[in-house]
A and B are shown apart, each in its own frame.
Chain A
Amino acid sequence: MKLTEKEIEIVELLEKNARLPIDTMAKMVSLSVSEVEDIIRKLEEAKVIVQYATIVDWRKVDGHEGVTAMIDVKVTPKRGVGFDEVAERIYRFPEVKSVYLMSGAYDLSVVIEGRSMSEIAHFVSEKLSTLDSVISTTTHFILKKYKHDGTVFEQGDQDRRIVVAP
């Protein structure tokens, strides 16, 4: 799908802030409000815009600290469906947040979120490793999130400029 420059600008603006008011966005790209609404509707229908999500720092919420792990998975691909079938078997689990097919030393990169380490350990030993195509898994627990999807969590972003300058 070929997008115009202004359509791309709109997608980029929404990607940074999905809650940007339409009238503000319309001014920024020099279009009318209804033109911007039409573009957004079109992009939603075409699934270019897939979903509007929120980045949450759960560590700040009591009782919701949670644990995230990245699991390197080696699998045996199947004739005809390649990696797709096993990938689907894995991503259907709701606790799995993302699944990527990777180049390099392993095949699938699986990101999983759980309430505790033991919950994740349980998933790996009971659900993931027992799948027929899975040859091996290596689990890495995330200790601290510095930057996620382009967003830095703890920003020292105060304006250091002097108040008035020529």
Chain B
Amino acid sequence: MQKTKTYVSDTVSRLKPSGIRRFFDLAASMEGVISLGVGEPDFITPWSVREACILSLEQGYTSYTANAGLWELRKEISDYVARRFHVLYDPADEIIVTVGASQALDVSLRAILNPGDEVIVVEPSFVSYAPLVSLAGGVPIPIQTSGKHQFKLQPEQIEQVVTPKTKALIICSPNNPTGTVLNAEELAQIARIVEKHDLLVISDEIYAELCYEEQYTSFPAIDRMRERTILINGFSKGFAMTGWRLGFIAAPRELATAMLKIHQYTMMCAPTMAQYAAIEALQNGAADVEQMKKSYRQRRNFFVQSLNEIGLSCHMPGGAFYAFPSIRSTGMTSERFAERLLLEEKVAVVPGHVFGVSGEGYIRCSYASSLEQLQEAIRRMKRFLERL
């Protein structure tokens, strides 16, 4: 055991295993669990998209594609980003099709970081940001947003942690795990600080399609931000295509060229069949996305109002499919609350602290489950709270 361990790099040894893992093992071992712990849509990929993939296989499109992805797909992505988010990227050399948004993040960080460079991570956040920064040789610098501000990043918080070594800021709106959406004005305020300190922004917009209240604003669409933004998006959430592992990067030429170098050596290209499916998704998937979005919005309204009624205070999240209620009133830690709720009432949620220090006192509940499941989960949670 000791000997094997010595082969592992110091960087990897220092990485903490994901806090979600323990819950996964516990929940997976139990029967009759209602899981609100799933970070993915409950919809199956629209049939027309699956059918397009099947057709591509029947026609024998099974070889590699260009490193950056199929030309036709990159053109569709370029049109889609222009149409939906009002930013122009050249499909020839500013768009890279990746293996999920996760690989897009990895490639982005590795392309920009020198050893010791600092990257600001806004917490609570998706669990991969900080580890990916470390793996790329950088130093993650967390900022803690607060429930008091509905977990919206306050621009002055950036100023408090910025140093000469700060290279980039990762933002995610709509956010996992809080569901918080930053509006155009809030993004513009962040943009001013970013510009003042000459930072690069990695904008993870994977939940952009699932924004329920207002017109979505993409960060690079803000004045002068396109040149200092790496835009990350993909098909997983909006198009219900998590298992296809398909995302994309849109970035200014110089950055995209650097990222493509890494992508071509490590990945060659994203899976060909998934790329053909994605073309169909972008050409004809808008109505399906709209239907799914409507259904998420209805379930969000039901679930968040019900949480507040049973005594778990929760702000109405503007996007994604997560509710992030406070469990402070129970006096328990997130971990304890989640564990007891699972063991006593068989409802799986994710304790907020796994997403960062400021997530303590909160739990993440995904409402991407059937209405019946959500109704039953609320009944069980109510019973649990009444017993405390």
Footprint of B on A, CB under 8 Å?
Answer: 9, 13, 20, 24, 27-30, 159, 161-166
B78-133 at interface with A (beta carbon < 8 Å): 126-128
Residues from chain B with Cβ under 8 Å of A24 in the complex: 302, 371, 375
A164 touches B37 (CB 8 A): yes
B302 touches A27 (CB 8 A): yes
A165 touches B38 (CB 8 A): yes
Pairs of residues from A and B, 9 with the lowest C-beta to C-beta distance, nearest first: A164-B37, A28-B298, A164-B24, A27-B302, A163-B27, A165-B39, A27-B305, A28-B302, A166-B127
A159 to B373, CA, bound (A): 11
A81 to B299, CA, bound (A): 48
Interface flags for B33-46 (1: CB within 8 Å of A; 0: not) read: 10101111010000
**By DSSP majority rule, is chain A's interface helix, strand, loop, or mixed?**
loop
Which of A13, A28, A164 interacts with B348 by CB under 8 Å? Answer: A164
A166 touches B375 (CB 8 A): no
A165 touches B42 (CB 8 A): no
B contacts with A, residue count (CB < 8 A): 29
Say yes or no: A166-B42 contact (C-beta < 8 A), given A28-B298, A28-B302: no
Residues from chain B with Cβ under 8 Å of A164 in the complex: 20, 23-24, 27-28, 35, 37-38, 348, 350
**B18 lies within 8 A of chain A by Cβ:** yes
A166 touches B18 (CB 8 A): yes
B313–chain A nearest beta-carbon distance, Å: 16
Q: B375 — nearest CB in chain A belongs to which residue? A: A24
Footprint of A on B, CB under 8 Å?
Answer: 18, 20, 23-24, 27-28, 33, 35, 37-40, 42, 126-128, 176, 294, 298-299, 301-302, 305-306, 348, 350, 369, 371, 375
A162 to B23, CA, bound (A): 12
Residues from chain B with Cβ under 8 Å of A28 in the complex: 298-299, 301-302, 371
Which of B38, B126, B128 interacts with A162 by CB under 8 Å? Answer: B38
A9 to B371, CA, bound (A): 15
A163 to B21, CA, bound (A): 10
A161 touches B301 (CB 8 A): no
Say yes or no: A165-B40 contact (C-beta < 8 A), given A9-B298, A24-B375: yes
A158–chain B nearest beta-carbon distance, Å: 12
A138 to B249, CA, bound (A): 58
A162 touches B301 (CB 8 A): no
A30 to B303, CA, bound (A): 11
For the complex with contacts A161-B42, A166-B176, 4 further pairs of A-B residues with Cβ separation under 8 Å are A9-B294, A24-B375, A27-B302, A164-B20
A88 to B33, CA, bound (A): 53
A64 to B128, CA, bound (A): 57
Residues from chain B with Cβ under 8 Å of A163 in the complex: 24, 27-28, 33, 35, 37-38, 348
A27 to B371, CA, bound (A): 12
B18 touches A13 (CB 8 A): no
Give the residue among B28, B37, B39, B298 with the most A Cβ atoms within 10 A.
B298
Say yes or no: A166-B298 contact (C-beta < 8 A), given A24-B371, A159-B42: no
A16–chain B nearest beta-carbon distance, Å: 10
A20 to B301, CA, bound (A): 15
A162 to B18, CA, bound (A): 15
Residues from chain B with Cβ under 8 Å of A27 in the complex: 301-302, 305-306
A161 to B348, CA, bound (A): 13
